[in-house]
Amino acid sequence: MMFGFRTAIFASARDFLDSPQFPNVSCAILDVSMPGMDGLELQRHLVATHPIPIIFITDLRDAKTREQAVRAGVISFLNKPVSEETLIDALNSALRA
């Protein structure tokens, strides 16, 4: 548990998708830069197969990347470092969506 939410951490998008926990996930927090399948690829996959709210946390300041993510339906796009309050607000927003 973290901030009152059940959480799980995965080393890669593939580990997440192959996890027995995957079908029960209510929200995903992703980084744009991830090993193997990047965050935008995983977002596209989730939108097509398992639509859930997505929050991006990244240190990339690229407006094009942000625009792609938002256009595909990301709930929040947060820049690192992220305060606990900002993250909790984004999670609460995502879980209400």
Domains of the chain and any CATH numbers: 13-96 (3.40.50.2300)
Residues 46-68 as b/e (b if ≥16 CB within 10 A, e otherwise) read beeeeeebbbbbbebeeeebbee
pTM reported for the whole predicted model: 0.85
Residues of the chain with pLDDT > 90, as a percent, come to 55
What are the pLDDT digits (tens) for 14-56?
Answer: 999 999 999 999 999 998 888 899 998 999 999 999 999 999 8
